[in-house]
Structure 1
Amino acid sequence: MSVLKKVMRPRHGAAWITGASGGIGRAVVLRMAKKGWTVYATARSEDELKTLAAEGPEGKIIPMPGDVTDAERMAEIVAEITSSGPLALTLLNAGIYTPMRANDFDAKTAAKMWRVNLEGVSNCTDPVLKHMIEQGTGHLAVTASVAGYRGLPDAAVYSGTKAALIAYCEALAMDCEDLGIRISVVNPGFVETEATSVNEFEMPFLMKPDEAAKSIVDGLSTPGFEIAFPGKFVAILKTLGLLPNRAYIAAVRKATGWDGKAKRKT
């Protein structure tokens, strides 16, 4: 059976989810716990993780506080999880978004996004892959974004990090085909979270975190590489992405109002 068709179930081991204290990650943790998974939840705030654990089925959500930019802590967490049994499924969901146009560009802000969104993922991938390669099976999923298909206004750095994650997952999937490990990339559209609340434009096909979590959990429990939603928005962006560069840039600027008169929320 192809690795892309492998589906992990609660009987195969535990799940680990980063970025678990809010938004999509929090909703995914709760949904998976209710489906019978033992979920190890990681975020920086221990208090928020304890609150999350209290909302789920008893004993099914286990707080594992830590910052994904701390490689040693991520290795400690994976070692602690795997000391109790197999790690069947990991969703590396932690990430940050700060809108930044060219006239607002700031290297320190950009560096923070590069570090959390990319270095944070690799810090977690290292111990997870080592464990899954040794056990000969597992499923590693990474949350990227439809913003990574091609560049979007206000998001040069964010789109850059997400494009990198899509390519990262594609390359890992090629390697892991021979190792028994399934790799998935999760590409959400706009989801109503604290991060997107700073956007000053109308967000098309905006989803609630619970809706996004359902799409993710359903995708993780069925075969395949990419989990992308909502479908209509994904189709539009992928179609636009086929345009030559000059036409793509002009079309997106016009569609988003990013021609010097950006649409603002009313």
Structure 2
Amino acid sequence: MAEPRLAWITGASSGIGAALARELADHGWRVAVSARRADALAKLCSERPQRLWAYPLDVTDRAACAATADAIAAELGAVDLAVFNAGIGAEFDVQHFDADEVNRRMAVNYGGAVNGIGAVLPAMQQRGAGQIALTASVAGYRGLPGAAPYSASKAAMIALAESLYLDLAGSGVDMSVICPGYVTTPLTAARQGSMPFVISAEAAAEHIRHGLEAKRFEIAFPRRMVWLLKTLQRLPYALYFSLIRRAAGR
């Protein structure tokens, strides 16, 4: 009997990543989970023995990403699905602009996904099979106030996924981009202000699993939040800036 499908999820110590690991494990997947916090990964894996395996990792370390991918392949087999989900820093104060902090967020959110892709894509291309998903955000549809580096990193991930989808067409490697709205996670716990249409990490994970298993390119939710941001995406700048300033009380 063939082994169940194998997924690799980064940023899996909490939030959407941990919820998705549980969701996939509960639906027949084997899941390798990575994050910097080894203790949190160990706790997560103890919830689903023989379904979850911990591989601590700093996604900004390109060599470590490659070594982790090699270790997963050697110990568990070929990765069928890679979800590059590590992300930090939604809130940003332009009055204290710190270039190092902006670059760090880009290095984790965007660079971490790039490092992960580099670690798994060659083997998938050689097999002619596999799926890669990047966790972006509806915040990547347009620049949002108070979220400059976060919106920029997520916009970069969306553009990267779009280009790779086109480049990989016919190769057997599928590309997906995940664009959540507000989700209850440690990343949003410290957020100031309202979070319209917020959903739980568990609900987000269910949306993501259905989208991944259907091999949809864009997996965006909740629907009302997506419709709102997609509408704003189509507005000319003058109208968009006016509406957003008013909504933000600026």
User: Aligned to 1:238, which of 230, 240, 243?
Assistant: 230
Aligned residue type for 1:217: R
Q: Secondary structure at the match of 1:227?
A: strand
The answer to whether the aligner puts 1:213 opposite 2:201 as a matched pair is no
The answer to whether the aligner puts 1:164 opposite 2:159 as a matched pair is no
User: Aligned to 1:140, which of 132, 142, 151?
Assistant: 132
1: distance between equivalents of 2:201 and 2:96? 29
User: Aligned to 2:15, which of 19, 23, 31?
Assistant: 23
What is the CA-CA distance between 1:197 and the residue it aligns to?
1.7
User: Aligned to 1:66, which of 24, 49, 57?
Assistant: 57
What is the CA-CA distance between 1:101 and the residue it aligns to?
3.0
Q: Secondary structure at the match of 1:195?
A: helix
Aligned residue type for 1:77: T
2:4/2:30 contact within 8 Å kept: no
The CA deviation string for residues 78-119 of structure 1, in whole angstroms up to 9 with x for no partner, is 111222422100100001114113212211211110110111
Cα distance change of structure 1 residues 227 and 11 upon mapping to structure 2, 3 Å threshold: farther
Q: What percent of counterpart residues are identical?
A: 42
1: distance between equivalents of 2:216 and 2:204? 17
Counterpart of 2:241 in structure 1 is 249
Moved more, 90-99 or 133-142: 90-99
User: Aligned to 2:36, which of 44, 58, 61?
Assistant: 44
1: distance between equivalents of 2:3 and 2:168? 22
1: distance between equivalents of 2:112 and 2:43? 24
2: distance between equivalents of 1:109 and 1:192? 24
1: distance between equivalents of 2:146 and 2:216? 31
Aligned residue type for 1:67: D
2: distance between equivalents of 1:24 and 1:245? 32
What is the CA-CA distance between 1:224 and the residue it aligns to?
1.8
1: distance between equivalents of 2:114 and 2:151? 18
The answer to whether the aligner puts 1:82 opposite 2:59 as a matched pair is no
User: Which residues in structure 2 correspond to 1:3-18 (within 5 Å)?
Assistant: 13-18=5-10
The CA deviation string for residues 207-242 of structure 1, in whole angstroms up to 9 with x for no partner, is 111111111111111132100000011001101111
Counterpart of 1:153 in structure 2 is 145
The answer to whether the aligner puts 1:187 opposite 2:183 as a matched pair is no
Moved segments of 4+, more than 3 Å: 10-13
Aligned residue type for 2:212: L
What is the CA-CA distance between 1:12 and the residue it aligns to?
6.6
What is the CA-CA distance between 1:198 and the residue it aligns to?
2.0
User: Aligned to 1:197, which of 171, 180, 189?
Assistant: 189
2: distance between equivalents of 1:194 and 1:40? 21
What is the CA-CA distance between 1:157 and the residue it aligns to?
0.9
Counterpart of 1:116 in structure 2 is 108
The answer to whether the aligner puts 1:128 opposite 2:128 as a matched pair is no
Q: Secondary structure at the match of 2:184?
A: coil
How many residues get paired? 248
TM-score by length of 1: 0.90
1:101/1:153 contact within 8 Å kept: no
Moved more, 95-104 or 21-30: 95-104
Moved more, 68-77 or 226-235: 68-77
2: distance between equivalents of 1:59 and 1:227? 28
2:80/2:130 contact within 8 Å kept: yes
Q: Secondary structure at the match of 2:186?
A: coil
Q: Secondary structure at the match of 1:68?
A: coil
1: distance between equivalents of 2:116 and 2:172? 19
| RMSD (Å) for aligned C-alpha atoms | 1.3
